[in-house]
Amino acid sequence: MSAQPSHPLTRLSDDEKMFQAEVEKFANQVVKPKVLHMDETETMDPEIVKQLFAFGLMGIELPEEFGGSGGSFMMAVLAIEAISKVDPSVSVLCDVQNTLVNNIFLRWANPEQKKKYLPQLAASKVGSYCLTEPNSGSDAFALKCRAFDEGTHYRLEGKKIFITNAKEADIFIVFANVNPELGYKGITGFIVERGTPGFAVGKKEVKLGIRASSTCEVLMDNCKIPKENLIGEYGKGYKIAIETLNEGRIGIAAQMLGLAQGAFDGALKYAAEREQFGKSLNSYQGIQFQMAEMATEIEAARLMVYNAARLKDAGEDFVKEAAMAKFFVSEVAERVASKSLEVYGGYGFIKEFPAEKFYRDAKIGKLYEGTSNMQLQTIFKLLQTK
């Protein structure tokens, strides 16, 4: 039996508390001054990306021998949460790198692939995870992207959409089907580097929220890659995709948790400062009850996120808890962002205050890395297996 988490739920170790405080300081000093400009221009500031690497936040779980921080999954969750309090756009860049791309290399790459790519991912190169296609969203394995074995190499053909980090990325994990007759059992994962002939990043989508985060098409036309760029086992890409997304959902839950906390903190501060009818807003019971309700929901959400992360670090089964966390925390984030905006009144509707951005950013939580309906389906399915 695996050891139980040494620090259950929201109880953090001293090292975790210190790490969390340092990431919060980083977010406020490095990220916060650029949030509004990045949102308006829909671009990720390259200097922030460099600083994420310099601070060790793009290789949190990677072993020190590869240049990583040698941390835990829980530490990655704490980093995502802390950055999301300031800007969920920056946090999702960090999230995809750590919970999806780095995890794939750690769990399924062979020694040569780890030696080649992990130092790059720890030091300077952004990774991207390419699964979704125009006709393959929630039905993730209805892939049309093909991989053809041509003896000395594989040839990739097809199109991916809604690919996070694509604009900044240099290393892409692409899922394609090597044998459609086998259905999902033909899906295989491949490593594709930016600059490979026949590989291109297409248009960047204009989005409602997390606008600084790049969401792009990825196009492959006669894209030839070496045989050694197959990652994991031939035909086992579906397993890599499923298991990686199970972990990634905890990361998205952490993003939504941080977003909710950031929106709430701003509203709480504003309610203490804003006066109406000769009294501060927070002296009115209607505001007090609303703030208390939001704080309670955020704390419940934090318990769920941290519990899922602890289970993962302890080697316990966490799939149901991850799905529950992503579903519930996405709901909480949307409610808290909406209620927080209302605390500001008309000021919440303008860009001078962060409330409207948190409100726009919150909606994505119910949509990516598995919609809320897909989480409910997973939860029910796992309840039936007890």
Catalytic residues: 369
Q: Which is nearest to 74 in space by CA: 5, 156, 152? A: 5
DSSP 195: T
Mapped onto helix, strand or coil, the DSSP state of residue 219 is strand
In 216-239, which positions are buried (b, 16+ CB within 10 angstroms) versus exposed (e)? bbbbbeebbbeeebbbbeebebbb
Nearest CA-CA partner of 333 in 380, 300, 374: 300
Distance (Å, whole) CA 356 – CA 269? 16
Task: Give 45's Cβ-side CA count (13 Å radius).
Answer: 17
H or E stretch covering 202: strand 199-204
Instruction: Determine which helix (DSSP H) or strand (DSSP E) holds 25, and give its type and residue range.
Output: helix 14-26
Both structure tokens of 140: 């993730």
Q: Half-sphere exposure (CA, 13 Å, Cβ side) for 80?
A: 30
